[in-house]
Chain A
Amino acid sequence: DSGVTQTPKHLITATGQRVTLRCSPRSGDLSVYWYQQSLDQGLQFLIQYYNGEERAKGNILERFSAQQFPDLHSELNLSSLELGDSALYFCASSATGYNQPQHFGDGTRLSIL
């Protein structure tokens, strides 16, 4: 158990819809990261938050947005969903410092029909 909790585990929805993915980081971790992994693909970095503030942005579409709340949990909002958004979405958290690993949640598997 990594200590990172992601909900829901599975999500099935239709094109054009909006969904929210939720992540609770490990206790004490201030950084939260979101990744997208399409079928048989690598990890695509989306966005990072540190203690409530956006720290780094990757290839995140304008239709996607995220935030980190005062209790450090984070949400990833995906809107106007397209078939190509079907993927495994990971949340990870880490402590501060370059020697600290990321710990991943189990992911949310999003299927767009």
Chain B
Amino acid sequence: AQKITQTQPGMFVQEKEAVTLDCTYDTSDPSYGLFWYKQPSSGEMIFLIYQGSYDQQNATEGRYSLNFQKARKSANLVISASQLGDSAMYFCAMREGRNTGNQFYFGTGTSLTVIP
């Protein structure tokens, strides 16, 4: 089974609107971390936000927030007040605690286009 699933290959959002990018994960490890990365067209991978499995509150970083629903095993990224510079590829990732290698598992990504 896929560890990380991103079901939206592409998304469009109007500038200044909010958008939600979906991510579901699969693990039996009680300790894990969830991460979102942004990859603009220039190619670099930028770490955006982190959510831990034991965190009681949803993580927030500026205009980014994470809608963490542990029972549903989902960790959706919410971008508020979209800007043209938000157009990029977004990857969801997970890191398990008991995995001695602490390997990261990435989803296939969602391409976000912000429309002026």
Contact = CB atoms under 8 A, between A and B. Distances in A.
Chains A and B form a bound pair: yes
Interface of A: 2, 31, 33, 42-43, 45, 48, 50, 55-56, 88, 90, 92, 94, 96-104, 106-107, 109
B108 A56 contact: no
Nearest to A109: B43
Interface in B98-116: 99-104, 106-109
A101 B91 CA distance: 13
A98 B43 contact: no
Interface of B: 31-33, 35, 37, 43-47, 50, 52, 91, 93, 95-97, 99-104, 106-109
Given A98-B99, A107-B43, 7 more contacts: A33-B103, A33-B104, A45-B104, A101-B35, A101-B50, A104-B44, A104-B46
A96 B108 CA distance: 24
Contacts of B97: 98
Contacts, number: 69
27 contacts: A2-B44, A42-B106, A42-B108, A42-B109, A43-B109, A45-B103, A45-B104, A48-B103, A50-B101, A50-B102, A56-B101, A56-B103, A88-B43, A96-B102, A98-B32, A98-B52, A98-B99, A99-B33, A101-B33, A102-B47, A104-B37, A106-B43, A106-B44, A107-B43, A107-B44, A107-B45, A109-B43
* Most chain B beta carbons < 10 A, residue from A48, A90, A102, A106: A102
B14 to A, nearest CB: 24
Contact of A55 (B31, B35, B103): B103
B104 A104 contact: no
